[in-house]
């Protein structure tokens, strides 16, 4: 019997989660040798606690169903263990899933997990904080901080945060120590990639591998306005390293000295740090389930993006209707309290009229 511990984040992304437990049990059937335990997260950090519980129980597989935050929380409790890590992407970026060429469709993801083909992957840490895809300092970290405070998720919200910050952001001078020496440079952002992308197929470190024991580093300088459209295109065509406003290098260890406290992101999770960023590589410490023969479809990410927009609009409409209802309820209740005595008197008078007349 293959023991499977499933962790579902009910608020990740914009897609409904109500039918997921039934779908999990339909695909990972007990009669096929799967013993499934399903849990829902209830607060930030809960996925990590649940994953630790699963490791202590020596389960075969832990599945995280959620966004990059849920996947990061779950994965960091599995590093160094023999537990296999299954990923069902349901977030707004899905950077790790896309890098590993996992299916974005829920059913196909679960079928991939049922097959159980595994690889060993690296992870990184920034001052002890674990990441699997990318970490960074500078503009992208500031956008992550603003995105975390937004009241909605998805790529449209991320683009809005980007637009609001990009015009006024000032580059910072950093000193970077690598395996090969020292670099001092004014940077718009510095991205440290264990995987190749931020998410949504935006390849910030386009040639990064999760199994080579090295970080790929992309340092982006402040670019002239006329260069930005070309850089945006190169970001999605895996050619950003060819741009003249970009420096790229590899290293297994980095020390980044910052002149002041700054926002830093670790797999999109923003935090404030100051002084020195000590960035370490940890090779081959996580066992991830992935397709044995990955197939890529140009249409699947597009379809997924349109579905996300559909669910986001649907969710916003429901939220709007509820807000209107909540706003109007006190008015309706007040009107009812004022009118009820009138209708009660009228009803009483009507009852009196219906009483039979007494004969004299």
CB burial readout 7-37, b (16+ within 10 A) else e: bbbeebbbbebeebeeebeebbeeeeebebe
Q: What is the DSSP string of 19-82?
A: THHHHHHHHS-GGGTEEEEEEE--STTHHHHHHHHHHHTT-SEEEEEE-HHHHHHHHHTTTTSS
Domain with CATH 2.60.200.40 in the chain: 130-283
pLDDT score of 306: 45
H or E stretch covering 305: helix 299-354
- Decide if 214 contacts 251 (C-beta within 8 A): yes
CA proximity to 93, closest of 169, 23, 183, 195: 195
Count Cβ atoms below 10 Å from residue 92 Cβ, excluding itself. Answer: 25
Please report the pLDDT score of residue 309 as a whole number: 43
Neighbouring C-alpha atoms within 13 Å toward the C-beta of 22: 3
Give the pLDDT of residue 288: 97
Closest CA to 84 of 186, 165, 6, 175: 6
CATH code of 130-283, in short, is: 2.60.200.40
Range(s) within the chain of domains with CATH label 3.40.50.10330: 2-117+299-313
Q: Which H or E element spans position 157?
A: helix 155-166
Domain 2-117+299-313 sits in which CATH superfamily? Probable inorganic polyphosphate/atp-NAD kinase; domain 1 (3.40.50.10330)
CB 91 within 8 A of CB 147: no
According to DSSP, residue 225 is labeled: G
The first and second tokens of residue 21, run together, are 């437990």
Q: For Cα atoms 111, 112, 114, give the angle at the middle one, nearest 5 degrees.
A: 60
Give the pair of three-digit tokens for residue 284.
């081959």
Tens-level pLDDT at each residue, the chain (360 residues): 899 999 999 877 555 667 899 999 999 999 999 999 999 999 989 999 999 999 999 999 999 999 888 999 999 999 999 999 999 998 777 889 999 999 988 999 999 999 999 999 999 999 999 999 999 999 888 888 777 777 766 667 777 777 777 777 888 999 999 999 999 999 999 999 999 998 888 999 999 999 999 999 999 998 888 888 999 999 999 999 999 999 999 999 999 999 988 889 998 888 999 889 999 999 999 999 999 887 665 555 555 554 444 444 544 455 555 555 565 667 666 666 766 666 565 555 555 555 555 554
Helix (H) or strand (E) holding 135: strand 134-138
pLDDT at 307: 47
CA distance 100 to 182: 32
* Cα 133 off chain centre by: 11
Q: Chain-centre distance of CA 134, in angstroms?
A: 12
pTM: 0.77
């Amino acid at each position: 019997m293959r023991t499977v511990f499933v962790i579902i984040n009910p608020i990740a992304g914009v897609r409904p989660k109500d039918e997921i437990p039934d779908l999990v049990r339909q695909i990972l059937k007990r009669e096929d040798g799967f013993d499934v335990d399903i849990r829902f997260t209830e607060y930030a950090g809960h996925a990590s606690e649940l994953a630790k519980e699963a490791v202590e129980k020596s389960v075969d597989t832990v599945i995280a169903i959620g966004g990059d935050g849920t996947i990061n929380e779950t994965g960091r409790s599995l590093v160094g263990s023999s537990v296999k890590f299954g990923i069902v992407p349901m977030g707004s970026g899905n950077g790790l899933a896309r890098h590993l060429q996992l299916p974005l469709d829920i059913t196909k993801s679960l079928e991939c997990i049922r097959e159980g083909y595994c690889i060993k992957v690296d992870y990184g840490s920034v001052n002890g904080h674990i990441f699997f895809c990318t970490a960074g300092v500078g503009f992208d970290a500031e956008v992550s901080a603003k995105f975390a405070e937004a009241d909605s998720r998805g790529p449209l919200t991320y683009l809005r945060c980007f637009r609001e910050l990009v015009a006024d952001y000032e580059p910072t001078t950093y000193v970077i120590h690598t395996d090969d020496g020292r670099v001092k440079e004014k940077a718009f952002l510095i991205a440290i990639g264990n995987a190749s992308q931020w998410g949504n197929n935006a390849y910030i470190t386009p040639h990064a591998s999760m199994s080579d024991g090295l970080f790929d580093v992309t340092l982006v300088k402040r670019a002239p306005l006329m260069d930005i459209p070309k850089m945006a295109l190169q970001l999605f065509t895996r050619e950003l390293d060819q741009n003249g406003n970009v420096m790229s290098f590899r290293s297994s260890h980095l020390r980044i000295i910052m002149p002041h406290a700054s926002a830093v992101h670790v797999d999109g999770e923003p935090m404030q740090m100051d002084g020195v960023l000590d960035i370490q590589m940890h090779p081959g410490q996580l066992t991830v389930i992935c397709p044995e023969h990955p197939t890529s479809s140009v249409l699947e990410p597009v379809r997924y993006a349109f579905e996300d927009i559909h669910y986001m609009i649907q969710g916003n409409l429901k939220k709007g209707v509820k807000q209107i209802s909540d706003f109007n309820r006190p008015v309706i209740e007040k009107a009812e309290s004022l009118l009820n005595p009138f209708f009660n008197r009228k009803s009483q008078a009507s009852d009196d009229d219906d009483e039979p007349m007494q004969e004299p």
